[in-house]
Amino acid sequence: MGALEIINFYLVPGLVVGSIYALGAVGITLVFAILRYAHLAHGDLATLGAFLGLGLVTALGISPYLALPAVMVLTAVVAVGIDRVFYDYLRERPKIVTVMASLGIALMVRAIVQVVWGVDSQTYTRGIVRPENWFGIRVRDRELITILAMIALVVALQLFLQRSKWGKAMRAMSDNPDLALLSGVDNGKVVTITWVIVGGLCAAAGLFLGLNFELKAMMGWSMLLPMFAAAILGGVGRVEGAVIGGLIVGVAEEMSTLFLPTEYKAATAFAILLLMLLVRPTGLLRGKVL
Amino acid sequence: MKPLLQMTDLHGGYGDANILHGVNLEVAPAEIVVIVGPNGAGKSTAMKAIFGLLKIRGGSVIVGGVDITGWEPNRIVEAGVCYVPQVDNVFREMTVHENLEMGAFLRSGDLSAAYDRVYGLFPDLKERRKALAGNLSGGQRQMVAMGRALMLEPKILLLDEPTAGLSPKYMEQIFQISRDVRDTGVAILLVEQHAKQALAFADRGYVLASGCNRHEGTGADLLADRDVADMFLGG
């Protein structure tokens, strides 16, 4: 097999799915850095975002790309609402209680999606899209947009975290919560901003997953393991690490089908997760939380 | 002079048991006051009590005429009291300059005068302003911690064992900087293990033992007191 085939059939799809994992993993890493628990409803929040997008696309007849900003806002509102009603209530309890509660939220969100949109697979647009040919490398528009949108969102997030007052407050809260409080940072506001960002990123991950594949109620849940693998691979608490981790897991999953039956694709993320926890549990870029 | 900070008959502790059994402290404006005493005397606890970091079961803390007993830490910061914990007192993953920015989190408007003041007190930090605080030496980290607290231009600065684990050279430097800070009109209350050196440099001192006041007076008087020397200072 030539280099072009490997690029076209394995590397490009791997980078696309990796970008989607990256969007999810960044959110997981943010929740871990600031709220200090594993958020198991992350995948199903992405599913909700994807289906909210479907709702807008069918109701208004707009393209999924135009729906993206609105879907990010809607999902952010839902995420903040979930935090206010459920997680906030458990803040003073051991973190494992919140982790279990997030599993319940995952089931609840998925059930709502199934009730509203049904259990069948759906798509944003019908018909087959032919890939564009760039010097022998074939990429579909939607694939290019997925990768570019991931980069744009992560760059925007990094600028927010590095430059803005509240972005710095988030980093301070992640770095040393007690000292952040002693500096007068309002913990509740940081938590709200975190959920706005995490909800938006979840929605983007879900929408791009639906765009490149299909929409179904289990789509987000089945993405949870690779997203966590990516966050741990990159170093929990590291935004750049989550992106690198997402891309590695995505490409590794696609590449694994060169040697293994495709049914084992999902096991690749699990293997990477296990290997990483054994060899370098702090992640590629030394995680700051664990 | 009317005291800036007044702690009266304070009782409190972390769990059910009290550690402080009626502590009285006073700090006048622009005064350096040191709390010394044997291990477990409740020195750091008395300081944390001011900041509402433990359960207060009796007594009061008054700052500038306002009763701040039991307030949330962020409101106490706004009242002009800044606290530098003994450990974990910097944001390790943030630069020196960002640490100072976080210190000024509650302030808005032009902060250049505040930065100039802090960098003037700590010229070492100005050179290393882009370095991550976690990569600095212990002494420099202590300076970042003090600088962060000073960004809010507090009326009183609380320092919990600022020289713990530092070399004598840095200890002298921290004391010297504390004097410089005092000369800009900020009162300082500090807890110290190095009792002799601290009493020699402070205006006044309190000796605590078992959560109660044992002695108080000017630093020189306490150093001359046979009782204090025998009990806490190891002769």
pLDDT at residue B171, as a whole number: 86
Q: Which residue has the tokens 């929409």?
A: A215
B77:A184 CB<8 A? yes
pLDDT at residue A16, as a whole number: 95
The one-letter code for the residue type at A59 is A
Contact between A78 and A48 under an 8 Å Cβ cutoff? The reply is yes
Give the Cα-Cα-Cα angle A210, A248, A4 (nearest 5 degrees). Answer: 85
DSSP state of B89: -
The pair of structure tokens assigned to B22 is: 């009626």
Q: How far apart are CA B133 and CA A247, in angstroms?
A: 31
The pair of structure tokens assigned to B57 is: 């079961």
B193 pLDDT more than 80 = yes
Contact between B196 and B189 under an 8 Å Cβ cutoff? The reply is no
The residue ranges of every structural domain in chain B are 1-80+155-235, 91-153
Superfamily name with CATH number, domain B1-80+155-235: P-loop containing nucleotide triphosphate hydrolases (3.40.50.300)
Order of all β-strands in the sheet with B156-160: B81-84, B156-160, B187-191, B32-36, B204-209, B212-218
pLDDT at residue B107, as a whole number: 84
Instruction: List CB contacts (< 8 A) between A182 and chain B.
Output: 51, 73, 77, 82-83, 85
Instruction: List CB contacts (< 8 A) between A165 and chain B.
Output: 105
| SS3 labels along A153-184 | HHHHHHHHHHHCHHHHHHHHHHHCHHHHHHCC
Could you report the average pLDDT of every consecutive run of 10 residues in chain A (290 residues)?
A: 82 94 96 93 96 93 92 97 94 92 96 92 81 81 92 96 94 92 88 97 96 92 93 90 94 89 85 87 70
With 0-12 CB in 10 A as exposed, 13-18 as middle and 19+ as buried, what is B176? Answer: exposed
Predicted confidence (pLDDT) per residue in B123-137, tens digit: 989 999 999 999 998
Q: How far apart are CA A190 and CA B103, in angstroms?
A: 16
The residues with which B205 forms a beta bridge, in sequence order, are: B34, B217
Q: How far apart are CA B205 and CA A104, in angstroms?
A: 57
Give the other-Cβ count within 10 Å of A180's Cβ: 24
Alpha-helical segments (H) within A95-223: 95-117, 141-163, 165-175, 177-182, 187-212
Residues 65-94 of B with CB under 8 A from A: 73-74, 77-78, 82-83, 85, 88-94
> Nearest to residue A245, comparing CAs of A225, A260, A221, A222?
A225
pLDDT at residue B70, as a whole number: 84
Predicted confidence (pLDDT) per residue in B149-166, tens digit: 999 889 999 999 988 888
- Interface contacts (A, B; CB < 8 Å): 59
Give the Cα-Cα-Cα angle B195, B197, B201 (nearest 5 degrees). Answer: 110
For residue B215, report the phi and psi dihedrals to the nearest 5 degrees: -140, 155
B93:A169 CB<8 A? no
> Nearest to residue A6, comparing CAs of A205, A227, A259, A234?
A259
Query: Mutation test of the interface with chain A: which of B91, B94, B99, B101, choosing the one with the most A Cβ atoms within 10 A?
Result: B91
pLDDT band for B98, please (50, 70, 90 cuts): very high
> Nearest to residue B131, comparing CAs of B99, B153, B105?
B99
What is the percentage of chain B residues whose pLDDT exceeds 90? Answer: 29
Residues 147-176 of B with CB under 8 A from A: 148, 152
Q: How far apart are CA A166 and CA A196, in angstroms?
A: 13
Average pLDDT over residues B66-78: 86
pLDDT at residue B232, as a whole number: 61
A180:B102 CB<8 A? yes
B77:A175 CB<8 A? no
Contact between A100 and A227 under an 8 Å Cβ cutoff? The reply is no
pLDDT at residue A85, as a whole number: 95
A176:B101 CB<8 A? no
pLDDT at residue B235, as a whole number: 40
ipTM above 0.95, yes or no: no
Q: How far apart are CA B201 and CA A233, in angstroms?
A: 52
Q: How far apart are CA A208 and CA A220, in angstroms?
A: 11
pLDDT at residue B234, as a whole number: 55
The pair of structure tokens assigned to B3 is: 């005291």
Q: How far apart are CA A267 and CA A277, in angstroms?
A: 15
3-state secondary structure of B213: strand
Query: Mutation test of the interface with chain A: which of B81, B95, B105, choosing the one with the most A Cβ atoms within 10 A?
Result: B105
Q: Is B14 on the interface with A (CB under 8 A)?
A: no
B29 pLDDT more than 70 = yes
pLDDT at residue B55, as a whole number: 85
Average pLDDT over residues B8-23: 85
**CB-closest option in B73, B93, B152 to A181:** B73
Give the Cα-Cα-Cα angle A172, B98, B44 (nearest 5 degrees). Answer: 60
| SS3 labels along A232-289 | HHHCCCCHHHHHHHHHHHHHHHHHHCCCCCHHHHHHHHHHHHHHHHHHCCCCCCCCCC
pLDDT at residue A290, as a whole number: 41
